[in-house]
Amino acid sequence: MTRFSSSRRWLAAPALLLALAGCNSGTKSGAAQPDLLQANLDTTVRPGDDFFQYANGGWLKKHPIPASESSWGIGKEVQNEVYARLRALNQEAAKANAAAGSTQQKIGDFWATGMDSVAIDKQGLEPLKAELDRLAALRTPADVQAAMARLIPLNVNALVGPYVAQDAKNSEKMALYLYQAGLGLPNRDYYFNKDARTANIRKEYGTHVAKMLGLMGEDAATAQRHSAQVVKLETALAGASRKLEALRDPYANYNKMTLAQLNQLTPGLDWKTWFAEAGIPGVDTVIVGQPEFYREAGRLLRTAPVEDWRAYLQWQLLHTYAERLSAPFDNENFRFYGTILQGRKEQRPRWKRVLDDEESAMGEALGQLFVKEYFTPETKARYEKLTTNVVASFREHIQALDWMSDSTKQKALVKLTKITPKVGYPAKWRDYSAMDIKRDSYTANMMRANQWRYRYELSKLGKPVDRTEWSMTPQTYNAYYNPSNNEIVLPAAIFAVPGLKDADADDAIIYGYAGASTIGHELTHGFDDEGSQFDENGNLRNWWSKKDRAAFQQRVNGIVRQFNGYTVLDSLHINGKATAGENIADLGGIVIAFDAFKKTEQYKKGEKIGGLTPTQRYFLGYALGWQNHQRDEVLAQRILTDVHSPASYRVNGPFADVPAFYEAFNVKSTDKLYRPDSARVTIW
């Protein structure tokens, strides 16, 4: 349950970080500077017709999407600032001749191998040769299963999708989950949708797999045959995979089984042997997300020819490491996944891609160095104060609900009180001392980093839950709510705005940009259609009365219908059910943080800045957080795969339900965003 999709965001340079504590005096200093919000406006658009374009159109016109990117927006601007600083840290580390095993040595060697394109091209497929040789030797279904188990620690998407997480019904215990996996296209819909856009992607995908196998050394005819086998296997797996909206039902995706029951579900797949080969000892129960997927996986392992599985595993291995291999593999991988799927015209610079890989491999090592130098305890305290204010407003909202009974309200208040806010950076840092990074091979470093992360996650089984752990690094431009921990996690980067100094950040911007779209948003995730099914201790347990739950669901149905009605890119519609949780969180964050903002001196004084009232600045501050545009190709992909609505609808959609927005911008019944009172959604 994140504010954004799963792509990484980064921490802004120190000068760009918003200091939240000094905001009460921000109105005067803000007036003395060119106003950021005013400069972004597109006044050719009526606020009531398209507020996203009105708020951000001026900025979007001046910031076209670079050829190397599939989208561009405020998060990318923040990311660019920090890329430069991380690059400098890495270059220094690479020259430092640091002690073996030190963090600086690992960072320096990772960077050096990633930037040495000459060595990468010279090595070709050599880093994968041992694994490819093993795959070439597969002869029996048992061989195939053993190979899959061996590839999982290398982060290869090889049919079985294991991960370790808190047991959804017993948050004090870590459990082993099995989820649907194994597809090379973004999700199941890409294998079946009949529209021309998706049909072309399927065609190009078959061509891409054949080209990759050809680069591996297969002749054209063999590569074509094996590509068809791979696509056939994946199509069968996709047919047994659940749709995006179905994956959001926590009860339907919780199926605890003993090992005997799991074996019965997938006859022919010996799970005890498989877990041992995957390095997962002592497993007696697992939580299966989608039993029908594993039933079909077991059937295919029994019936599909070994030759098909050999090609499939070779493809999945190549696909996992293509970006770290020699130029032909890297370029072909980009042609399909970068250009065909996302519309990008050219590769991003290698140094940025290396930094992204390093973030994935040992992000907290970078984060620890970064916050030590650039993120002060005083700044952390400022963000914590804002969080406290928004939580207090949420408490008042729950108390004032007219559709919820007093008994359920008390339980909701208990849950809210027990939500743990984590702001800025973790109290305890991850230990990377056992990670083996050398100056030998970039691909090998990624393989070793993946194996380390796999062992790290597995080590949690059978141990007490570490509730201090973070799932995002401080330099991530994102945030999340974790229902099992009943916590909101707000990395330092999420509070950054490029070009705006602390003294220029008035309360209105702060409460809209950070209070609504981040803090209030994540708090509301604890009470959206999915998060509301977890109790104050993080357990999947019903704490609602039947009547209250029905009243809540009626309101959820309203927001589902609202977003189902939005058309994007010709005939594509937003999936209202799949995006319901994020849409609820957006709406909740807006109304909750607005009431918190109304208690500030800036709101009470009512003075204008840049010709804008405090309330107008609040809504513009929220819209600033979604300042983003994207290529049609990636927009189409996200409609099918992302539980977040496109950026413009995350502004226009919830605002159309908020009376204060209508008042602030004089929205009339003739305006396009107008919704009659009876159609407006109110939940929290």
pTM for this entry: 0.93
Please tell me the predicted confidence (pLDDT) of residue 23: 31
DSSP class of 25? G
Please tell me the predicted confidence (pLDDT) of residue 17: 31
Please tell me the predicted confidence (pLDDT) of residue 658: 98
Distance separating alpha carbons of residues 52 and 517, to the nearest angstrom: 14
Please tell me the predicted confidence (pLDDT) of residue 471: 96
DSSP class of 441? -
DSSP class of 163? E
Single-letter amino acid code for the residue at 508: A
Domain with CATH 1.10.1380.10 in the chain: 125-324
Do 485 and 553 meet the contact criterion of CB atoms below 8 Å apart?
no
Distance separating alpha carbons of residues 590 and 586, to the nearest angstrom: 6
Question: Which residue, among 652, 628, 667, has the nearest Cα to 40 in the 3D structure?
Answer: 628
CATH fold for domain 125-324: Neutral endopeptidase; domain 2 (1.10.1380)
Domain with CATH 3.40.390.10 in the chain: 14-85+353-430+469-679
| b/e 418-446 (16+ beta carbons within 10 angstroms → b) | ebebbbbbbeeebebeebebebebbbbbb
Please tell me the predicted confidence (pLDDT) of residue 81: 84
CA dihedral sign, ordered 346, 350, 354, 359: negative
Point out the residues of the chain with pLDDT beneath 70. Answer: 5-33, 373-374, 501-503
Please tell me the predicted confidence (pLDDT) of residue 21: 27
Please tell me the predicted confidence (pLDDT) of residue 503: 60
Question: Which residue, among 86, 92, 84, 42, has the nearest Cα to 63 in the 3D structure?
Answer: 42
Task: Please tell us whether the domain made up of 14-85+353-430+469-679 is placed in CATH 3.40.390.10.
Answer: yes
Please tell me the predicted confidence (pLDDT) of residue 25: 31
Which residue reads 């063999």 in tokens? 222
